[in-house]
Amino acid sequence: MQRRFDIWALVLVLALVGLTLVIGGTVLIIEGGSVYYLAAGLMVLGTAVALLRGSGLALKLYGALLVTTLGWSLWEVGLDGWALAPRLLGPAVLGAILLLLPVRKLSGSPARWWVGGPALACFVAVGLAGAMAVYPGGDGVSTARAASAARTDATEWRNWGGSPGGDRYAPVDQINIDNVAQLELVWRYDSDLPPPLYPNFEVTPLADDSRLYACLKSGVVVALDQETGKEIWRHALPDADKFDYSRVFGAKCRGVSYYEAPTPLPTCTRRIIFASPDGYLRAVDAATGLPCRSFGREGAVDLQAGMSGQLPDSRYKVEAVPSSPPAIINGVAVVGQTVSDLASLDAASGVIRGYDAQTGELLWAWNAERPAGEDADEEYARATPNAWGVLSGDEELGLVFVPLGNSPPDYFGGMRPEELDRYTTAVVALDAATGELRWSFQTVHHDLWDYDLAAQPVVADLPGDEGMVPTLLVPTKTGQIFVLDRRNGKPMDPVVERPVPQGGVAGERTAKTQPYTTGFPSLSGADLTERDMWGITPLDQLWCRIAFRKAHYEGQFTPVSERDTLMFPGTAGGINWGSVSVDKKRGLLVVNTLRFANFGRLVARGGVESGAFGGKEGEVIFEQAGTPYAFAQSTFMSPLGVPCQRPPYGTINALDLRTRELVWSKSFGTSAKSGPFNIPTLLPIRMGVPNMGGSVVTAGGLAFIGAAQDRKLRAYEITSGRELWSAELPAVAAATPMTYVSARDGRQYVVIAAGGHYGIPGPQASAILAFALPQN
């Protein structure tokens, strides 16, 4: 009786699976997709019918299915373990269950090897490919280079990116490839503040004079002892615990800025400059945390001066505030800001301003092609391209490099003024003393995909035809890295204009071509195809294939339409604000990337004034008021809560700065902290996971990085990509690490903030952690 029930249960399962495959496979074929699923469904249904009749044909049919599935899978994806697993494991497990039945009672006395052999082959294929993923050198490419000698000078970290140019290079090698495995946690500082509105703890601390300086959230700054992590002072707004951060757009903090006056002052010779969520630029004494009274008015400059009032229906009291630290170039604090670029056609101004770092005096303002002058009473033009990422500069050339985003709103540009369009998603070089525009270079024409220049442009000197050339590396969300002569903005590598998909919605215009560099290879991955669709079973993978085929997608730069439009790279990139690191000694560039697609579509209103629009379940609606369309965004996920595209979702890479060639590329992060419905698998198998943050490189031949969803700080050998060390973190480290040598104890410390990220599942924290070698 029990055996008969088991057979009936298996017949029912096979029938349901087969019917689903037949129906879904038919739909997929109609949409122009693979015929495999229909064929597989028919074989599964045939197995169910044969098993119901007690026929030995059941084993032969299912064995044929497994052989077909194995061959088809290897043909589609090769020995890619993560791609093979959902194709092979489910059918192989069902085959194993089939073998547990009393098959001798089936007519024809079929041999078990009809199913056992193919099932074992499927398990072996997945196991072999999985072993290649677990082995540290098992994926990517690697062309190792020899390391060169480096110095061990004591160092501070006085700029967010390590230097004004943002190279993230530390010229110290106390911690190196030979001893990094001995690193240990020496202190941990935990903030006592409640999590911010958006749980992002993205700060990179600064190091100077035996102290670290960091913001715990926008407007709250602390000084910590470099060797113990003990809090020395804290500066916060009055009644900071009662401040309503929900009334401020973009109220987050990636860091603070350090400035030292050229001649000693009675107070505040060394100062920390930062933005606060009430719309002020503030300066406090680095020694005490007290306001620098000579800076602006009692230590603060009103950043809302010159900004026109917010929209009458806006819920934001402050529409724009810097989320990244000011760039201080030759005594001028240059400030960009985050604006609401999805809410309205009439958004806050994206004006860039330069202030005297000592007095707080407004020296200049640049607002795309509409400079507003130095008069704080004059209103700046609204809805201009803004710079929310980190700026960089060259003090010898007297230039500040500003990575710009879109002229709002992001996803409909039909009403965008053409005089502003030339500066969207462009890097501009401004004279740090006067704000005069020196040059500009656009990385995306008429941006309709939110491909803001998020990454800090990086200053580097590279070999050219006439010796070393002052260059600027411009990483982008599209995964490209443009190399420009930073004196004039001209490309060092030829940039070609390539035709891109056309179309879009009524009232929109699209760029016929987009710029592509011929230097560094693109790091965003190839355009998606049906073969790239994923899932954890054949059934949800089939669902993803159908969704892919039904979506509007013609490759990169597919214009957003009223259909679900697949955006790849997604709105987060590519290369986001973590930017790139430059190993000056070895001539290598280290960069992490995100490879994650998302859906977007434009939703027509009943009329611009009526604001009538609706969205589907799972979509986030952005109003884009003043335009004919709202924008609906959703993730590209299977019904079982896993991405519809196959891994990797994150990579870490090294490129040769001289030849522009890829030296090595690795999947970044493991599957241990991810899984269906955000349930961790606890399997530390290298997968390549979502990540947000950046790296730092050292003369010791190491690249340190957190950023990944599996919540680890890692050390890679720069020349080979070998992972040499890692440490568990309390949350995703959506930040960039930094390193310094303490002047008191002579130890090199590696420090990172770990707090989580609203876009990456996981716990929240507000921790700053320091690692060092054991003391003798």
Crossing angle of helices 57-77 and 36-52, in 10° steps, is 160
* Calpha distance 161→718 (Å, rounded): 18
> Which stretch of DSSP H or E encloses residue 694?
none
The secondary structure of residue 649, as a DSSP letter, is: S
Closest CA to 340 of 598, 625, 627: 625
CB 175 within 8 A of CB 773: yes
Neighbours of 360 (CB within 10 A): 21
Closest CA to 737 of 194, 186, 207: 207
* Calpha distance 631→470 (Å, rounded): 41
First vs last C-alpha separation in the chain: 72
CB 643 within 8 A of CB 596: yes
- Owner of token pair 């041999």: 111
Catalytic residue among 278, 431, 450, 710: 450
Closest CA to 493 of 663, 343, 658, 259: 658
CB 343 within 8 A of CB 316: no
* Calpha distance 762→755 (Å, rounded): 10
CA dihedral 15, 20, 23, 29 (to 10 degrees): -120
* Calpha distance 61→73 (Å, rounded): 18
| Phi, psi of 623, rounded to the nearest 5 degrees | -70, -40
Number of H helices, E strands in the chain: 7, 40
Structure tokens at 103: 């098959």
* Calpha distance 27→37 (Å, rounded): 10
CB 644 within 8 A of CB 548: yes
CB 579 within 8 A of CB 165: no
* C-alpha separations of 510 from 302, 449, 501 in Å: 38, 12, 9
Burial bucket for residue 173 (CB in 10 Å: 0-12, 13-18, 19+): buried
- Position 139, amino acid: D
Residue 485 designated active-site: no
Helix (H, G, I), strand (E, B) or coil at 105: helix
Closest CA to 732 of 575, 568, 578, 535: 578
* Calpha distance 474→34 (Å, rounded): 40
* Calpha distance 497→472 (Å, rounded): 20
- Owner of token pair 């500040």: 400
* Calpha distance 706→697 (Å, rounded): 13
Partner residues linked to 708 by β-bridges: 691
- Position 742, amino acid: S
Q: How far is CA 512 from the centre of its chain?
A: 27
Please, what sign has the CA dihedral across residues 270, 255, 702, 768? positive
DSSP state letters, 184-224:
EEEEEEE--SPP-SS-------EEETTEEEEEEETTEEEEE
* Calpha distance 584→48 (Å, rounded): 64
| Phi, psi of 352, rounded to the nearest 5 degrees | -105, 130
Backbone angle region of 240, left / alpha / beta, with phi > 0 → left and psi within -120 to 50 → alpha = alpha
Catalytic residues, by residue number, are: 450
